[in-house]
Structure 1
Amino acid sequence: MSEGEVKTESVGTVVVAGVANLAIAVAKLVAGVVSGSAAMLSEAAHSLADTTTEVLLYLALRRGARPADVRHPFGYGKESYVWAFLAALFTFVAGAGFAITHGVTTILVHEHSGDYLISYVVLAVSFVIESVSLTRAVRQVRSESRRWRTTPRRFLRLTADTTVKAVFLEDSAALVGLLIAGVGVGLSEWTGDELWDGLASILIGLLLLVVATVLARSNLSLLVGRAVPERLHREIERELASLPTVDRIDTLLTMQLGPADILVAAKVDFRDEATGGDIEADADEAERRLTARYPEIGYVFLDPTRSLPGVAGRRARRTQDEQGPVTDARVTRGGPDPATDAGDAPGRPDRPA
């Protein structure tokens, strides 16, 4: 699957989730008003928050995909994380805040006016619609995880495409919330006590808090400037170290510039006998190899440098603020690094996060 196809699939996933959540929000709101159920009104707030989230995620995909220009030479990829972060905050404030507050009010007031039947009907229909939306998100997650030869769980944890991650988590939380609402409404009808309806509303709010926190932390980390995962870092390092004129990699830095844009910068110790032409040729070859194998890599910068004394056989530093002897293990040309290979399965790395 090409990068363009992945972006198109992400947009489709967000649009399907948004339309589904809007329809469900209206149905839940009507059911909540007619039945007086706190859990149903909380679920309506949940779906409304999810709908707004999908709108913000759509903006994230569109605005983050704009090409680079003079004022933004590395593109607008990080803007997608701004909108995704705002979406997480909206879920946190609007969805969770309303659900918890309304649940507490219901427990204190203990009032219920209306029929329970409409709540059950709307919950059942909503469950079916949310399942359709989640199925599409799961299909994309599995497709992407196969492309990067990793597990869906690991892909979701490390992916830099926070839009598909948000849709998956929100739809999963929506299905769990529907089950909680159903149990709360059922217990309230069975016992005649609205305490259960209020507790269900509070639990739905807490569920939204968890999802919002996970998504906010993920987007904030990417906004600050997160490196690629360990396995991908090692693969990039090996590709650079395998070049004919490269003696060793002293420093290797990576950063996610957007969901599908990675920056690679390295301080490279070239062989003493290498000519300027050799170095230029290998620098071009490095960029060709990396971009061919990993289309998400958009920028490769190599800085010829002299290695510090006594660092033979050691692995590249991760940062440029280390002074004196390097204590991290380093990789040089011509040999594997058992310390970093242990515990990681071979094959292509996970999608960068």
Structure 2
Amino acid sequence: MTPGDGAVRSPPGGRRARTDRETRGTVVVALLANVVIAAAKVVAGTVAPSPALLAEAAHSVADSINEVFLLASLSRSRRRADARHPFGYGKERFFWSLLAAVGIFVTGGCFSFYQGLHTWLSPPSEPERFLAVYIVLVVALLAEGSSLARAVFQLRRQARAHGSPLMRQIRQPGDPTVRTVLAEDSTAVVGVLIAAGGVAGHQITGSPDWEAAAALAIGALLIAVAYRLGREAQSLLVGQAVDPRLQQRAHALLAGQEEIDTVTTLLTMRLGADSALLAARVDLREGLDSEEVEEVCVRIKQELREVCPAFDQVFLDIIDAGSAERARAHSLKEELDRVVAEQDDRGE
């Protein structure tokens, strides 16, 4: 197996640094918004008192903690590769995104459930100050909406850079940082609307059960989002392959080389937000000497660097393919084409 003359680095350092700065700015905006909103919700929710607003306060506290995790992931994931981590620290982002999901579940979801059940079983005796609650909710909606707009703007720019629709970019499991902020802010906007509905129901009917129900709904929403984010982070940490379209592009490039007779195996794995590993077993045509084989490998890796720049690490294993390997190569190509066709049919 020849690991390649010079690992493939992508995107280029300057563009990668700009992307990181933009991502850090998105996270910082979300953090500042959540810190201010959390403080306002805690004060107003305690003074009012409003169970729905306190549930939303827990939501904002959870989001604030998670943004700190995400900021830590940005710097830690860019550390240079070393002897203990020869493929770098790119998966740090996946780990901290997993912690963020746990934070949403514990701090936000569980407390919201507790607040809803507590209100249901022990309704507050003091009259609620609805005006103060509405003011805080409106401010929270504006702040969360602004943070959400920034996250969407960044994802839209990334989608244009990759030539893909926005929804496809959102579904891509590449950089979980911005997608986590997007999920948090989207959930926060929905949570504020749920809380406002609960407060309005309380004001109209005079029953705090409406706010208890709103707190329970917010808790259920947060747990669902935490589960989704946690599953995605877990899949990336275990070792997820790159997008099938990128696999198909790499396979087509390898199979199209005149020196390559058969691509028997194509293995990929995400190493970080914008880096991946590719390992392929190929059968070269007959008549190439060792020096020509080396030159072919160097040229192929250079072409992969240009066509599929996401692959930081490329390994080519030269084999003498038998009938079993050739049959496996045919099955590999059919399966890859089928998966890509299914994604296109679903609009992903």
TM-score, L = length of structure 1: 0.89
Summarize the Cα distance change of 1:177–1:329 in structure 2 as closer, same or farther, 3 Å threshold: same
* In structure 2, distance between residues paired with 1:173 and 1:340: 31
Tell me how far 1:338 sits from its aligned partner.
6.8
Q: Do residues 257 (structure 1) and 271 (structure 2) align?
A: yes
Q: Match of 1:186?
A: 200
Q: Is the 8 A contact 1:185 1:196 kept in 2?
A: yes
* In structure 2, distance between residues paired with 1:180 and 1:41: 13
Q: Do residues 234 (structure 1) and 237 (structure 2) align?
A: no
Q: Match of 2:51?
A: 38
Q: Is the 8 A contact 2:250 2:308 kept in 1?
A: no
Runs of 4+ aligned structure 1 residues displaced above 6 Å come to none
Q: Match of 1:323?
A: none
**Residue type of the alignment partner of 2:95:** V
Q: Do residues 48 (structure 1) and 61 (structure 2) align?
A: yes
* In structure 2, distance between residues paired with 1:10 and 1:81: 15
Identity %: 40
Q: Match of 1:200?
A: 214
**Residue type of the alignment partner of 2:67:** E
Deviations 1:195-250 (A, max 9, x none): 00000001001110111011100000000000011111100111112223111111
Q: Match of 1:16?
A: 29
* In structure 1, distance between residues paired with 2:339 and 2:116: 50
Q: Secondary structure at the match of 2:333?
A: coil
| Gap runs ≥5 in structure 2 | 1-10
Deviations 1:281-300 (A, max 9, x none): 22112221222233321100
Q: Specify which structure has the higher proportion of helix.
A: 2
Alignment length, in residue pairs?
A: 331
**Residue type of the alignment partner of 1:330:** K
Report the RMSD for the aligned CA atoms in angstroms: 2.0
**Residue type of the alignment partner of 1:8:** R
* In structure 1, distance between residues paired with 2:74 and 2:66: 12
Listed as ranges, the matches of 1:332-347 within 5 Å are 342=341
Q: Match of 1:150?
A: 164
Q: Do residues 87 (structure 1) and 90 (structure 2) align?
A: no
Q: Match of 1:97?
A: 110
Q: Secondary structure at the match of 2:309?
A: coil
Q: Secondary structure at the match of 1:263?
A: strand
Q: Secondary structure at the match of 1:255?
A: strand
Listed as ranges, the matches of 1:1-353 within 5 Å are 2-113=15-126, 114-309=128-323, 312=326, 316=329, 328-330=331-333, 342=341
Summarize the Cα distance change of 1:247–1:195 in structure 2 as closer, same or farther, 3 Å threshold: same
Deviations 1:296-318 (A, max 9, x none): 21100000011121665x564xx
Q: Secondary structure at the match of 1:264?
A: strand
* In structure 1, distance between residues paired with 2:251 and 2:18: 28
**Residue type of the alignment partner of 2:48:** S
Tell me how far 1:102 sits from its aligned partner.
0.7
Tell me how far 1:3 sits from its aligned partner.
2.4
Q: Secondary structure at the match of 1:180?
A: helix
**Residue type of the alignment partner of 2:239:** G
TM-score, L = length of structure 2: 0.90
* In structure 2, distance between residues paired with 1:82 and 1:129: 28
More displaced, 276-285 or 95-104?
Answer: 276-285
| Gap runs ≥5 in structure 1 | 317-326, 332-336
Q: Is the 8 A contact 1:160 1:222 kept in 2?
A: no
* In structure 2, distance between residues paired with 1:151 and 1:135: 17
Tell me how far 1:344 sits from its aligned partner.
6.0
**Residue type of the alignment partner of 1:82:** F
Q: Is the 8 A contact 1:173 1:208 kept in 2?
A: yes
Q: Is the 8 A contact 2:48 2:130 kept in 1?
A: yes
Q: Is the 8 A contact 1:37 1:112 kept in 2?
A: no
